[in-house]
Amino acid sequence: MAIHVGIVGGAGYTAGELLRVLVHHPGVEIVFVNSSSNAGNRLYDVHEGLLGETDLCFTADLPLNDIDVLFLCSAHGDSAKFLSAHSVPEKVKIIDLAQDFRDESNGFVYGLPELQRERIAACNRLANPGCFATAIQLALLPLAANGLLEGEVHVNAITGSTGAGVKPSATSHFSWRNNNISVYKVFEHQHLLEINRTLKRLQANFDADVNFIPVRGDFARGIFATAYTECDLTESEAVQLYKDYYSTAAFTFVTDTNPDLKQVVNTNKAIVYVKKHGNKLLVISMIDNLLKGASGQAVQNMNLMFGLDEKTGLGLKPSGF
């Protein structure tokens, strides 16, 4: 029996990627895609890659009684406003792709499967993690889970322009972004809140700083994060720790060779690489910011919430060249 899906905020990048995955998901029927500004237009009028994939139109209606799960893809802050203004039937599961409930308020569960797969499978309201937060947490979870974070963590992570959203801005304009690079929100990026919550949950005595420098890249999609911290483990011990932690993960893989970003772009994969340099442990973690960092992870979570295999509908091939 198909899972009946509704989507609110259907015109942005995350909604476009969500639709690209869901139109080919074998267990899903898309009931509506809500966008008041695009009501009546075909989905492919906005998400041009959907031409030939679906003839569905955007709608201003919200037939909430006809769906099993509602994806909220609007801007940060709008999810809370939507739920305050609309009565969503109790039978409808909610997956929020904004940051409104990542603190697990209002009955939401934080949706990082590598952290709490069982709680996700049992929940009705899910807060999908942020893109930087996903990549950085995947670099640190095995250490925190084993009480091995002993000091400050230093993180540098570069992201593609799609991370800034579909609405043009001075720093996402092609003429500025192309052949250019810059940092922003140094040491104060909003995703640090959820990263620190997770680390404290796994290792209660961790009270050091996560020094995060976000970087704007001159490419469209993907996040390449490098994290390092002091660690007493040998390299072989650290590699085995990571492989053991992610041995049952559906999409997170520990590689023995220095990776490159194209291995994950256009997929729901996360690739992690561990290397020891003196007394410092270096961890590289990389994802596609629109998939494992947003819409792909949301579908992975939907699969868990409805008792499906996590990988259903997510057999995506990386764009290697």
Catalytic residues: 131
Q: Among 71, 30, 39, which residue's Cα sits nearest to residue 57?
A: 39
Between CA 302 and CA 95 the distance in angstroms is 8
Identify residue 292 by its one-letter amino acid code: K
Residues in the chain: 321
Between CA 21 and CA 229 the distance in angstroms is 36
Pairing of strands 3-8, 252-255: unpaired
Torsion angle of the four alpha carbons 309, 311, 313, 319, in this order, in degrees rounded to the nearest 10: 180
Cα distance from N-terminal residue to C-terminal residue, the chain: 38
| Helices assigned H by DSSP within 153-293 | 174-177, 192-202, 235-245
**What's the token pair of residue 130?**
């942020």
* CB proximity list for 247: less than 8 A, separation 6 or greater: none
Contact 163, 133 (CB under 8 A): no
